[in-house]
C-alpha cells in the first residue's frame, strides 16, 4: 500500500453550528425489519418512528455481535440506505454512555451502518449503542491503532466508505445531507476525505493557538485505508488521493477536567513510548508508517515533532511550546477556558511526557534492563510481543 497521498482541493466553507445535547427525544427510533440487511440502516428524519421496543432498550443483544458473529438487522423507521454510496461509521468506546447516543444521532441521516468496538465498558455504553441499532463488538484494548484496524477489518466487507469518529464527537448538521452525493462525485483515485475538526473545552470552542483549522482524514474507501501502527499520533493511511470536504466534526466532551487529565496522563505514557522509539528504534514498523495521508499540514507537524521538537532539551521544550501556542499563535484569545486548555495541553502534558521519558531511561540504566522492560515497570504498558493479541504486530507511536 502506498504511504503518501497527494492532496486534492474540493473547497467548501467551514460549518459554524454547535452540536446540541444528546436528548433522548432526538435519538433515532428503531423497529425490527426482517427484510433488512446486516447493521443499521438510516434515512431522513431521526426523530420519526416508533419508540424502541422494551427488550431492545434493555440491551437484549439485538443489533449487536461478538467478535466472532455478525449483527442482527435493525432499521430506523422511515429511513432508507444511502443509495450507491454507503457510509459505515466506526466508533471505539469505553464508558461513553454520556456521548454515544449523541454521536450516533449526529450520523443518522447519512450513515448506512454503525459498528462500535468496545473494550470493556462498565456503564450503559453497549446497551445504548445496541438500542440504537449499532453492531457492537467487544475486544481487549492494546492501543488505538490495533483497535481501529480491528474495526476496519470488521467493516471491510460492507464496501462503500468508512467513517472513523470518536464517541465524544458529533458530525455537524449543516450540509450533512450532501455527504453521500459528495462522496458519489469523487473520482476513483480519491481514497480519503478530510473533514474539519473542532474542539470544545470547558464549554468554549478553542479556535486559536494553532488548534484551527485542523484537517483530519476521517472518511476513506473500504479496503483502501488502514490506521498506521503507532502508540501515539496515529493517522489513517490510504492508497490514493485525499480531498478536503465542507464537512465538520466537533469534539465536545461532557466529562470533567479530572477525567481529561487522567486521560492525558495515559496519553503521556504512550507518547513517551513514541519518543523513546524515535530515539532507539524499539519497534518494527510497517513500511512508511511515518507518512501521513491526511494533509500536508499534518505531515509538517510530524516532521517538526520528530526532527525539531524531539531534539530540544526535555522540560525547556515544553515551556517554549506553550509560549509559541499561547503568545505567538494567539491562544490568549481563547479566554479563560483557553488558558487552561493551552496550559494543560501545551505545557503540562508535554512536560509530563518529558518526565516519563527521563524516568523510563533512568530506570533502565539503574537496573540494567531493556527499555521495553522499563516501559512496563514505570508505565504499566507491556509492549513485549507475547502480550499482544493473536495477529497483532508490535507497534511503535495517540491526544
278 and 233 in a common domain: no
pLDDT in tens, 63-121: 334 443 333 223 333 233 445 789 999 999 999 999 999 999 999 999 999 999 999 99
Per-residue pLDDT, 60: 35
332 and 365 in a common domain: yes
Provide the domain limits for residue 311.
Answer: 268-387
pLDDT in tens, 25-79: 333 333 233 222 233 333 323 332 323 322 333 333 333 344 433 332 233 332 3
203 and 55 in a common domain: yes
234 and 94 in a common domain: yes
Residue 393 lies in a domain: no
201 and 318 in a common domain: no
Residue 123 lies in a domain: yes
Instruction: List residues bridging with 205 in a β-sheet.
Output: 200
Question: pLDDT grade, residue 233 (50/70/90)?
Answer: confident
374 and 276 in a common domain: yes
Per-residue pLDDT, 300: 66
The number of domains in the chain is 2
Global confidence as pTM: 0.75
- At a CB cut-off of 8 Å and minimum separation 6, what does 157 contact? 222
Higher per-residue pLDDT: 381 or 54: 381
98 and 126 in a common domain: yes
Question: Which run of H or E residues covers position 247?
Answer: strand 241-252
218 and 346 in a common domain: no
324 and 191 in a common domain: no
Residue 294 lies in a domain: yes
220 and 314 in a common domain: no
- At a CB cut-off of 8 Å and minimum separation 6, what does 119 contact? 92, 93, 94, 138, 139, 140, 141, 147
Question: Which run of H or E residues covers position 374?
Answer: helix 371-379
Residue 258 lies in a domain: no
- Determine what percent of the chain is predicted with pLDDT higher than 70: 71
Higher per-residue pLDDT: 5 or 257: 257
Cα 151 from chain centre:
12
Residue 22 lies in a domain: yes
- pLDDT at position 376 over 90: yes
Per-residue pLDDT, 81: 43
Task: Answer with the one of 226, 252, 278 that is the final residue of a domain.
Answer: 252
Total count of residues recorded for the chain: 399
Per-residue pLDDT, 358: 95
30 and 94 in a common domain: yes
Instruction: List residues bridging with 216 in a β-sheet.
Output: 195
87 and 182 in a common domain: yes
Amino acid at each position: 500500500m502506498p504511504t503518501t497521498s497527494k492532496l486534492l482541493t474540493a473547497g467548501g466553507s467551514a460549518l459554524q453550528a454547535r452540536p446540541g445535547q444528546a436528548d433522548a427525544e432526538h435519538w433515532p427510533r428503531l423497529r425490527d425489519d426482517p427484510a433488512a440487511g446486516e447493521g443499521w440502516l438510516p434515512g431522513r428524519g431521526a426523530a420519526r418512528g416508533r419508540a424502541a421496543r422494551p427488550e431492545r432498550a434493555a440491551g437484549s443483544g439485538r443489533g449487536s455481535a461478538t467478535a466472532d458473529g455478525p449483527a442482527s438487522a435493525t432499521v430506523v423507521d422511515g429511513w432508507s440506505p444511502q443509495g450507491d454510496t454507503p457510509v459505515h461509521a466506526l466508533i471505539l468506546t469505553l464508558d461513553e454512555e454520556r456521548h454515544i447516543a449523541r454521536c450516533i444521532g449526529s450520523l443518522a441521516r447519512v450513515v448506512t451502518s454503525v459498528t462500535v468496538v468496545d473494550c470493556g465498558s462498565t456503564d450503559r455504553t453497549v446497551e445504548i449503542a445496541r438500542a440504537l441499532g449499532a453492531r457492537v463488538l467487544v475486544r481487549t484494548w492494546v492501543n488505538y491503532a490495533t483497535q481501529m484496524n480491528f474495526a476496519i477489518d470488521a467493516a471491510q466487507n460492507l464496501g462503500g466508505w468508512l467513517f472513523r469518529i470518536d464517541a465524544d464527537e458529533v458530525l455537524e448538521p449543516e450540509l450533512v445531507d450532501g455527504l453521500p452525493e459528495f462522496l458519489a462525485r469523487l473520482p476513483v483515485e480519491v481514497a480519503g476525505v478530510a473533514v474539519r475538526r473542532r474542539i470544545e473545552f470547558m464549554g468554549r470552542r478553542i479556535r486559536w493557538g494553532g488548534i484551527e483549522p485542523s484537517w483530519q482524514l476521517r472518511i476513506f474507501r473500504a479496503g483502501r485505508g488502514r490506521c498506521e501502527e503507532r502508540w501515539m499520533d496515529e493517522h489513517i493511511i490510504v492508497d490514493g488521493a485525499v480531498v478536503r470536504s465542507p464537512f465538520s466534526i466537533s469534539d465536545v466532551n461532557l466529562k470533567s477536567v479530572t477525567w481529561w487529565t487522567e486521560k492525558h496522563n495515559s496519553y503521556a505514557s504512550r507518547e513517551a513510548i513514541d519518543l523513546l522509539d524515535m530515539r532507539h528504534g524499539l519497534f518494527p514498523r510497517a513500511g512508511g508508517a511515518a507518512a501521513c495521508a491526511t494533509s500536508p499540514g499534518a505531515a509538517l507537524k510530524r516532521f517538526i515533532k520528530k526532527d525539531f521538537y524531539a531534539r530540544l532539551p526535555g522540560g525547556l521544550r515544553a515551556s517554549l511550546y506553550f509560549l509559541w501556542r499561547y503568545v505567538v499563535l494567539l491562544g490568549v484569545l481563547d479566554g479563560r477556558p483557553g488558558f487552561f486548555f493551552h496550559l494543560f495541553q501545551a505545557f503540562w502534558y508535554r512536560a509530563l511526557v518529558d518526565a516519563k521519558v527521563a524516568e523510563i531511561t533512568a530506570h533502565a540504566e539503574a537496573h540494567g534492563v531493556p527499555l521495553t522492560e522499563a516501559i512496563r515497570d514505570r508505565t504499566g504498558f507491556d509492549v513485549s510481543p507475547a502480550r499482544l493479541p493473536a495477529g497483532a504486530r508490535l507497534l511503535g507511536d495517540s491526544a
